[in-house]
Amino acid sequence: MKYSKEQTQALLQKIENSLKDYLLKNNIQNPLIIGVHTGGAWIADLLQKNLGYEGKAASLNISFYRDDFSKVGVNPKVEPTEMPISVDDKHVILVDDVLYTGRTTRAAINEIFDFGRPHSVTLVVLVERNGNELPISADIFGEKLELDNDKNIKLLGPDPMILEVVDKDS
């Protein structure tokens, strides 16, 4: 099942608005937006632009921090991590497309701490689905979704970005 372009767009708009409110409410001036490759990096770039910050968002390739290397190995095709500025004392906005088991977010947080000591980390996702295996939940999300165990939701993109629900082994 595919979301329409407009449905995905509406979710993107929703997290953008929520993030603006969040930054305002917490008086955060210069957040460091970091996207997780690949889908999270697309969304992070969009947020970076729409919130009026210059340049590209930072991006993380978390494959070297995953906890399942001894089961699945590494994927050579993932783009390298780009961390243009220091994370020390920054308010980090960590962006991913889907929050599922929480393991990717755990890996991303570990990687961020190898670049320094952020002031805070806020998690923004487009979709938070059921199946969490770690005590991690999103601070800002587009929607929460209940999916069968044999289904995955993924983001196609980057232009346009469209969510799609697929079978796990497809």
Partner 1 sequence: MSENKEINLDNENKNNSEIISPKHLRHFLDIENLPQSLILDILDLAESFAGVSGQPVKKVPLLRGKTIVNLFFEASTRTRTTFELAAKRLSADVLNLNLDFSATKKGETLLDTLRNLEAMHCDMFIVRHPSSGAAEFISKNVSPNISIINAGDGRHAHPTQAMLDIFTIRKYFPDFKKIKVAIVGDILHSRVARSLMHALRILEVPDIRVIGPKTLLPLGVEEMGVTPYVDMDKGIKDCNVVIMLRLQTERMNSSFIPDEHEYYNLYGFSPKRLDLISKNGIVMHPGPVNRGVEISSEVADGNRSVILQQVSNGIAVRMAILSLSMQP
Q: Is 24 one of the binding residues for partner 1 (CB under 8 A)?
A: no
| Contact flags string 105-144 toward partner 1, x per CB under 8 A | -----xx-xxxx----------------------------
Q: Is 6 one of the binding residues for partner 1 (CB under 8 A)?
A: no
Least distance CB 85 / partner 1 (angstroms): 12
Cβ-based neighbours of 162, under 8 Å, separated by 6 or more:
2, 3, 4, 5, 8, 155, 156
**CA 13, 17, 21 angle in degrees (round to 5)?**
170
Q: Is 89 one of the binding residues for partner 1 (CB under 8 A)?
A: no
Q: Is 100 one of the binding residues for partner 1 (CB under 8 A)?
A: no
User: What letter does residue 27 receive in the DSSP assignment?
Assistant: T
Least distance CB 128 / partner 1 (angstroms): 26
Among the residue ranges 7-15, 18-26, 45-53, 64-72, the one whose residues contact partner 1 (CB under 8 A): 64-72
Contact of 152 with 168, CB cutoff 8 Å: yes
Q: Which helix (H) or strand (E) holds 128?
A: strand 120-129
Q: Is 78 one of the binding residues for partner 1 (CB under 8 A)?
A: yes
Distance CA 122, CA 143 (A): 17
Q: Is 104 one of the binding residues for partner 1 (CB under 8 A)?
A: no
Q: Is 79 one of the binding residues for partner 1 (CB under 8 A)?
A: yes
Contact of 89 with 119, CB cutoff 8 Å: yes
Q: Which of 1, 24, 30, 72 binds partner 1 (CB under 8 A)?
A: 72
Cβ-based neighbours of 22, under 8 Å, separated by 6 or more:
28, 122, 139, 140
* Side chain identity, residue 148: D
Among the residue ranges 2-10, 69-77, 124-132, 149-157, the one whose residues contact partner 1 (CB under 8 A): 69-77
**Which positions lie near partner 1, rule CB under 8 A?**
61, 63-65, 69-74, 76-83, 86, 110-111, 113-116
